[in-house]
Amino acid sequence: MNRRELIDADGGNHAAKPIPRAAFDSTLALLREGYDFISVRCRRMNTDIFATRLMLRPAICVRGAEAAEMFYGGDHFTRIGAMPQTTLRLLQDKGSVQALDGAAHRHRKALFLSILLDGDQIERLRATFRRAWLDQLEDWQRRDEIVLFDAVNLVLTQATAAWAGIPADKDRAELCRELSGMVENAGGIGPSTMLALWRRRRTERTIGELVRRVRSGALDLPANSPVRLVSEYVDAEGMPLDLASAAVEIINIIRPVVAIGRFIMFAALALHQHRQWYDKFAAGDDDGLEAFAEEVRRLYPFFPFIGGRARHPFEWKGYRFGKGDWVLLDLHGTNHDRRLFVEPDRFIPERGLSWKTHGFDFIPHGGGDPATTHRCPGEAVTVALIMEAVRLLTRSMAYQVPDQDMTVSLARMPARPKSGFRIDNVRRNPAERLPVEPEPLRS
Ligand code: HEM
């Protein structure tokens, strides 16, 4: 037993339990097993915690609701130094809300929540998304087939750019490649990751320039547009964000909206595999639609785990954590924990899950209170857009699903059905009783 295991947080002497150890270095196992990596070991060793090394760095892996409460509940962790550099730079980057802690984090986070939990903002984004989808539907009808994942990413780019206030001179197809490339390559280190990083720098420069024009008055955006709200944000000391950080935070709003395309692709897969839900929604019944969207977020793989570094020494269930310890919380494994969910690998919307409970058991976007922790602020937006996509897929159009390889490999992070979900024979549904259509996209 080493000295650290003998000394507790306030210097007293009591022995901590040794953390069970997996292999000396598990990097190859992680690459091989992907989303299952932590859970498989926890089950095998009958534990919710084990220690190993990843890329030779010591790591402590945890899973389950109690572990999530420890990870999110006690302000024990910072995200600084907790992600590989390429992942950090592609997803959040320096100067972002995720890189802050304590009071500065809460102040910046309030900006995100004021935009992303605001009913009018969510409704404006939903309506813009619907309009963009129906516009694209014209083109889909002319094509032999479409890869739904790619097609929806473009719709989401158009919607989030118009909603956020990105002027139309920024080419949407190019912006789509930039934003979706950030997510697709976040788990890699090869040439495509380097290309995505280069594209990200370009996007940051373009958006930084936008912020400069908004601040100088050269570009007049609506007062409620996210680009303007971030540009005009001042911190607790009354200071605006520097241009680079403002650009990073605007990307932090528009990039994850495009990332919802992955859940929409999985929702289409669920509609295909569980036909009774397709029929129910196609008949115009919205009952159970929210629970359907939430079950998509629970079942299908997105973020495998999230990393944090301990800010101070503390103890949990008799295990000692030292300052700087690198801890990975298993998000996917917790969402599939048999102790929390009956038949966790089955699609059962009747579970009636909701992000609104702020719990520690259903954690596709992290756990706890988003205002005070690093839990994602975008869950309301995500659920609203998955729900709208299901309405569009089942009521506004008809399509066929040709034979294809829909296998979802859990070794690939982020995961997707191999085919990206192809559909053909796409037709606008003329019988749909259209609600009042939103204004056309500003372009
Ligand atoms: C597409 C589905 C999404 C998934 C799977 C997802 C997942 C996550 C996860 C796992 C975290 C990290 C929590 C942590 O560090 O502990 C996070 C943070 C974050 N997400 Fe999301 N998210 C999604 C959608 C969104 C949306 C739509 C937005 C904004 C429009 C958004 C904005 C953010 C921001 C700004 C953070 C950093 C929060 C902080 O550090 O306090 N996300 N998200």
Nearest ligand 1 atom to alpha carbon 381 = 27
Which atom of ligand 1 lies nearest, measured to the CA of 98? 40
What DSSP assignment string belongs to 351-371? G---GGG--SSS-BTB-S-TT
Pairing of strands 305-310, 326-330: antiparallel
Q: Measured in angstroms, how far is the CA atom of residue 97 from the centroid of ligand 1?
A: 10
pLDDT band at residue 8, thresholds of 50, 70 and 90? very low
Centroid of ligand 1 to alpha carbon of 365 (angstroms): 6
Q: What is residue 105's predicted lDDT score, i.e. its pLDDT?
A: 96
Question: How does strand 145-147 pair with strand 422-428?
Answer: antiparallel
Counting atoms of ligand 1 from 1, which one is nearest the CA of 373?
Answer: 41
Distance (Å, whole) CA 30 – CA 181? 22
Summarize pLDDT for 185-239 with one digit per residue, the tens.
776 667 777 877 778 888 899 999 999 999 999 999 999 999 999 999 999 999 9
365 CB less than 6 Å from ligand 1? yes
CATH class of 3-428: mainly alpha
Query: What is the length of the chain?
Result: 443
Q: Look up residue 259 and give its two tokens.
A: 């990332």
Atom of ligand 1 nearest to the CA of 72: 16
Pocket lining: 199 vs ligand 1, CB cutoff 6 Å: no
DSSP-H helix ranges across 58-171: 65-73, 85-91, 102-116, 119-142, 148-164
Ligand 1 mean position to 404 CA, how many Å? 31
Residue linked to tokens 């008949």: 283
pLDDT band at 2 (very low <50, low <70, confident <90, very high): very low
CA dist 52 and 26 (Å) reads: 7
Distances (CA, A) of 63 to 71, 274, 279, 305: 10, 29, 36, 9
Please report which confidence band the pLDDT of residue 3 belongs to, taking 50, 70 and 90 as the band edges.
very low
pLDDT tens-digit series, residues 115-136: 999 999 999 999 999 999 999 9
CA distance 270 to 301: 13
Per the structure block, which two tokens stand in for 75? 């302000």
Cβ–ligand 1 distance for 364 under 6 Å, the answer: yes
C-beta separation of 260 from 183 below 8 A: no
- Encode pLDDT of 225-278 as tens digits: 999 999 999 999 999 999 999 999 999 999 999 999 999 999 999 999 999 999
Mean pLDDT to the nearest integer, 27-35? 95
Q: Is the dihedral of CA 142, 146, 150, 155 positive or negative?
A: positive
**Alpha carbon nearest to ligand 1 atom 17, residue:** 376
* 15 token code pair: 């022995």
Domain positions in the chain: 3-428
For ligand 1, the distance from its centroid to the CA atom of residue 141, given in whole angstroms, is 34
User: Does residue 121 have its Cβ closer than 6 Å to ligand 1?
Assistant: no
From ligand 1's centre to the CA of 160, what distance in Å?
A: 15
